[in-house]
Chain A
């Protein structure tokens, strides 16, 4: 029996607003982070990921107070990412109430950080984030919210993250992100073969056909949805219905 696919609401936050772009660029304000988090919780979401789009960790308007508020009325797992560079940053994030941290740039700059976090807080609180852009027949991993190539091949990098101790891998397709043109299924499938960690697939969801195309070829642990929820084009219950229809179909 396959485990049910998790539905994660992804909130990219800049200066206290949830924002949304296309290919991680051209950001527009779409709502208040705490209001949206509560709305998705009430809709039955499985998990919420807050990503600081500008890594403004040491600004006055950092994500920590948003997390502190969210944890008071949202009783599903909460992950936080963006700008976490040191063990102390991670400690503050978990202290604010986050259950998990999401690391990308911090890991690329220092893979030892991943090992330290896993050793100190456990792999269960650590999501390795990969921003992937198609390059020839493969994908290149990016950092700084899709702005800079890291120099790593995505699949090689995923294996390194796994070996260093991440508990889950969040992969965002920069090519698909914000387009509503469906997930990069080939990317999800390649990552599934490359690693043995649960995979969270992010970028491109627009509707039922995207879920069925993804689940026809791979078995990710979760999908992350942003724009389709933020713009009110769907809600969590409807996505859940799409997922359950696919899973029932694959078992028949």
Chain B
């Protein structure tokens, strides 16, 4: 049996090696590429990304890979955006200005501020947080199959998709501030946390994404 090919979209932003290593670990074949034709041949696509929103969008457009991501989302190819790669999937961001996202899923990216914290809260949010995820959503149940309810995932970010966005299917709290930890609709999923850096629970989530 040949291993499933998982395209890791290389637009010059992100920890591609970490994502590829995690894909290898769960028995699939990572394909790190910036070539749209090669990526379109993959059965799954991962859009990684770290850093600032504006830079990320600029880089994605400069490579023309924004079209690939839109096409994949439209054609039903399972697509997973991670961290900045998740944020880029929604409509807009206010990180250092006003930016348009790909608007594949509804939502806005906002600064992760908790007005009640009064100086005790630090940014970026760096750490392992549990998720709130309502039961009953089929796609979410599949993504989290076999993962403990109180499992924690690794986050590192100062901006986040608002927790009340229509696409938010699981949330997390930083202080009192609730934000979207997972956004999803049909074949498109985004995680604010890094599954490739979240230990066994993260690897399980990636495996579920492939199955």
Contact = CB atoms under 8 A, between A and B. Distances in A.
Interface of A: 1, 3-4, 6, 41, 44, 46, 71-73, 75-77, 94-97, 99, 121-125, 167-168, 196-199, 219, 221-222
B211 interface: no
B111 interface: no
Interface string B1-26: 00000000000000101100110110
Interface in B62-106: none
Interface of B: 15, 17-18, 21-22, 24-25, 50-52, 119-120, 122-129, 152, 154, 156-158, 173-176, 194, 196-200, 202-203
Nearest to B194: A77
Contacts of B17: 71, 95-97
Contacts of B154: 46, 76-77
Nearest to B202: A75
Contacts of A75: 21-22, 25, 196-200, 202-203
Which of A76, A196, A221 has the most CB atoms of chain B within a 10 A radius of its CB? Answer: A76
Contacts of A124: 50-51, 124, 126, 156-157
Contact of B51 (A4, A72, A121, A198): A121
B122 A94 contact: no
Contacts of A199: 122
B18 A71 contact: yes
Nearest to A5: B127
B34 to A, nearest CB: 15
A71 B50 contact: no
29 contacts: A1-B173, A1-B176, A3-B174, A3-B175, A46-B154, A71-B18, A71-B21, A72-B25, A75-B21, A75-B25, A75-B196, A75-B198, A75-B199, A76-B197, A77-B194, A77-B197, A95-B17, A97-B18, A97-B21, A122-B50, A122-B52, A123-B124, A123-B158, A124-B124, A124-B157, A125-B50, A196-B119, A219-B120, A222-B127
Contacts of A121: 50-51
A168 B126 CA distance: 9
A202 to B, nearest CB: 15
Contacts of A94: 15
A196 B197 CA distance: 25
Contacts of A222: 126-127
A221 B119 contact: no
Contacts of B129: 3-4
A71 B196 CA distance: 10
A99 B197 contact: yes
A234 B76 CA distance: 49
B21 A72 contact: yes
B21 A221 contact: no
Given A77-B197, A124-B51, A125-B50, A196 B21 contact: no
A201 B128 CA distance: 17
Given A96-B17, A221-B122, 15 more contacts: A3-B127, A3-B129, A4-B152, A6-B128, A71-B21, A76-B199, A77-B154, A97-B21, A122-B50, A124-B124, A168-B126, A196-B123, A198-B122, A198-B127, A221-B127
A-B pairs, top 7 by smallest CB distance, nearest first, are: A122-B51, A97-B17, A3-B127, A198-B122, A124-B156, A198-B126, A77-B197
B50 to A, nearest CB: 5
B49 to A, nearest CB: 10
Contacts of B174: 3
A219 B128 CA distance: 15
A159 to B, nearest CB: 14
B23 to A, nearest CB: 11
A25 B197 CA distance: 32
A44 B122 contact: no
Given A71-B17, A95-B17, A167 B126 contact: yes
